[in-house]
Amino acid sequence: MALLNRKIVLASRPPGMVSESDFRLLEEEVRALQDGEILVRALYLSVDPYMRGRMRDVKSYADPVGIDEVMVGEIVGRIEQSRHPTLQTGDMVAGHLGWQEYAISRGKGLRKIDPSSAPVSSALHVLGMPGATAYFGLLDVCRAQEGDTVVVSGAAGAVGSIVGQIGKILGCRVVGIAGDDDKLEWLTGDLGFDGGINYKTSGNLARELDKLCPDGVNCFFDNVGGPVSDAVIPLLAQNAHIAICGQISQYNAEKPELGPRLLWHLIVKRATIRGFLVFDYFDRFGEAMKRLSEWVISGKIKYRENIIEGIENAPRAFVGLFKGENTGKQLVHIAD
Amino acid sequence: MALLNRKIVLASRPPGMVSESDFRLLEEEVRALQDGEILVRALYLSVDPYMRGRMRDVKSYADPVGIDEVMVGEIVGRIEQSRHPTLQTGDMVAGHLGWQEYAISRGKGLRKIDPSSAPVSSALHVLGMPGATAYFGLLDVCRAQEGDTVVVSGAAGAVGSIVGQIGKILGCRVVGIAGDDDKLEWLTGDLGFDGGINYKTSGNLARELDKLCPDGVNCFFDNVGGPVSDAVIPLLAQNAHIAICGQISQYNAEKPELGPRLLWHLIVKRATIRGFLVFDYFDRFGEAMKRLSEWVISGKIKYRENIIEGIENAPRAFVGLFKGENTGKQLVHIAD
């Protein structure tokens, strides 16, 4: 009997806030492999804010997902069958195989995972794209150095929580912004952040930030945008660097949201804002993985996973990202 | 009989649009020189948009001007008396001696001008701060290279008109944005700009820009901000660089103006925005002056001066900057 694949496809392109009904679960038989192909059984699926952009019918840095096409997303999985020359049955791999239980691939863009060195799920966060994003964004884009004050928004997310910990390793003062007191307790209590602010309850975010950053903000790692960034930018120190990694507050906006014009602050502070994608650092990925692995093994970087069960719940997990439901990395568990 | 100095002092700090009544003309006797001092007779006075910021009671990159204090501004002048060890009567100098006919100085921050190489007034524009601003902003901040598409706002101003001409020398495609058809005629007809757009009459600025920049905008030199920048930023090419030199559209705003949030564009385009001040390039000023001089002498850079007569009219010239009344450099002529 043929294997049955369950996959999540895009059902509609919401102009505003995404909902579970924008996706549909389809079942299909898994076809036989051809020469050069492998069959991968997904174990964990990653859901990330950037995927919201791929639901729009707009050419961006990557093509949009088509209606009825499987949603994009990175997974870790085990090779169940192989007609590939080098990838073998039993190998663990990570790659962009989409929101589905089984995927056929020719191996392009996949990387092999060593399950003996760390839990395989970590290849989707601290030892994967979010980790590399934090690493290059803080070191290369923000140019963080010992003694700098680093502010990170979305601080309890998969990227933000690693940014702050790398900042502490570098000897920075680190202040995290998040939307939940439990998240902040984790950041300041367990991860060593110097301070944290709940942007939903702080009243005056700019004033609270000013108290925690008396010498100004040298590095701002921005995952959020909107009113959170509005509060940080006026507090920049001279020659500050801002990394625009994400703007999650804006991804569900039907039309561009209005905010106070901020560019003039950059003149006074001689500040630099740079948007980046981790793909731009593809050539240096190994460097990031090596150092992040060392930091995880030595206990200098900790992580938390927020796990939901079953491919059918991937849309719910995804929608939850925009409601701030995850602390640490949001994963969907598919199989053991 | 003692010399009489006429000077313009700050009379009030307007929260919104600046007007001539925010200044007052005072007369005072020029005191006798002490050892180490010189008396400078102003010939030309420069009025520049940045001075609007110095009228606000806010610490910025420089201290604000006090009420009843002489307005800041650069002048070129001739030394009329000297008790200074190296600066001599008859020498021509440029420096920030303020809006006044006579100034006493100890020579700090003044630079000597060679009147035989170019008209002395050029020390206030192409062979002075505006020229150096254009030079470093385009080469160092925008990183303009042959083949790039360069867009400059405030294109017919003292800085913008030089930016575009340096862009043409580098082999760039140059598009200027200004608010007057006569200005655009000068830019495209006399200065060699590849295209120009009147932002006041274009109807849809973004669409007109898109037509003139079919491969996107690699370099944006922004003197204006506001809706002009809103139109340019979505058209950035990959790895674009934006230099924030000025934001003249915002300088008279009573409170921060709202505009569409733009930071997410930077991620998609991996773009960089940097604010800068020409003072940051003080150490390399000589390099800029040498090359700009060569370009002026060889006719590769042309300039235009907009001259108003008399110190009493400096406030009117200054207010005119914000109404777009000047083509090229706005100067106040004080004496021959």
Q: A277 touching B, CB under 8 A?
A: yes
Residue of chain A minimizing CA distance to B256: A260
What is d(CA A260, CA B262) in angstroms, rounded to the nearest whole number?
11
Model confidence pLDDT, tens digit, residues A55-83: 998 877 778 999 999 999 999 999 999 99
In angstroms, the separation between the Cα of residue B283 and the nearest Cα of chain A is: 16
Contact A277 B267 (CB under 8 A): yes
Within 8 A of B246 by CB-CB distance, chain A residues are: 267
End-to-end CA distance of chain A: 22
What is the residue extent of each domain of chain A? 4-124+304-333, 129-279
Model confidence pLDDT, tens digit, residues A292-318: 999 999 999 999 999 999 999 999 999
Average pLDDT over chain A reads 95
Confidence at residue B75, expressed as pLDDT on a 0 to 100 scale: 97
Q: pLDDT tier at A1 (50, 70, 90 boundaries)?
A: low
Confidence at residue A255, expressed as pLDDT on a 0 to 100 scale: 85
pLDDT tops 70 at residue B16 = yes
Contact A273 B263 (CB under 8 A): yes
Runs of H (alpha helix) within chain B:
51-54, 129-136, 160-170, 181-185, 205-212, 227-232, 263-269, 285-297, 314-321
DSSP string over B265-306: HHHHHT-EEEE--GGGGGGGHHHHHHHHHHHHHTTSS---EE
| Residue A98 falls in which region: left (phi positive, over 0), alpha (psi -120 to 50) or beta | left
Confidence at residue B73, expressed as pLDDT on a 0 to 100 scale: 95
Within 8 A of B279 by CB-CB distance, chain A residues are: none
Contact B270 A273 (CB under 8 A): no
Reported ipTM: 0.92
Q: Give the fold, CATH level 3, of A4-124+304-333.
A: Quinone Oxidoreductase; Chain A, domain 1 (3.90.180)
Q: B271 touching A, CB under 8 A?
A: yes
Amino acid (one-letter) located at A211:
K
Q: How many residues does chain B have?
A: 336
Q: Name which of B52, B142, B264 to mutate to probe chain A: the one with the most chain A Cβ atoms within 10 A of its Cβ.
A: B264
pLDDT tops 80 at residue B4 = yes
What is d(CA A7, CA A67) in angstroms, rounded to the nearest whole number?
13
Model confidence pLDDT, tens digit, residues B137-192: 999 999 999 999 999 999 999 999 999 999 999 999 999 999 999 999 999 999 99
Q: What is the mean pLDDT of residues B42-60?
A: 91
Confidence at residue B60, expressed as pLDDT on a 0 to 100 scale: 74
Q: A227 touching B, CB under 8 A?
A: no
Contact B264 A229 (CB under 8 A): no
Within 8 A of A267 by CB-CB distance, chain B residues are: 244-247, 275-277
Q: B277 touching A, CB under 8 A?
A: yes
The pTM of this model reads 0.94
Residue of chain A minimizing CA distance to B265: A275
Contact A267 B257 (CB under 8 A): no
Within 8 A of B260 by CB-CB distance, chain A residues are: 256-259
Residue of chain A minimizing CA distance to B248: A264
Confidence at residue A183, expressed as pLDDT on a 0 to 100 scale: 95
* A58 contacts: CB under 8 Å, gap ≥ 6: A64
What is d(CA A266, CA A236) in angstroms, rounded to the nearest whole number?
9
A227-231, A279-283, B62-66: segment of lowest average pLDDT: B62-66
Residue of chain A minimizing CA distance to B255: A260
pLDDT tops 80 at residue B89 = yes
Model confidence pLDDT, tens digit, residues B221-279: 999 999 999 999 999 999 999 999 999 999 888 888 999 999 999 999 999 999 999 99
Confidence at residue B1, expressed as pLDDT on a 0 to 100 scale: 61
pLDDT tops 90 at residue B61 = no
Q: pLDDT tier at A209 (50, 70, 90 boundaries)?
A: very high
Domain B129-279 has CATH 1.10.1670.10: no
In percent, the amount of chain A with pLDDT more than 90 equals: 91
Confidence at residue A57, expressed as pLDDT on a 0 to 100 scale: 87
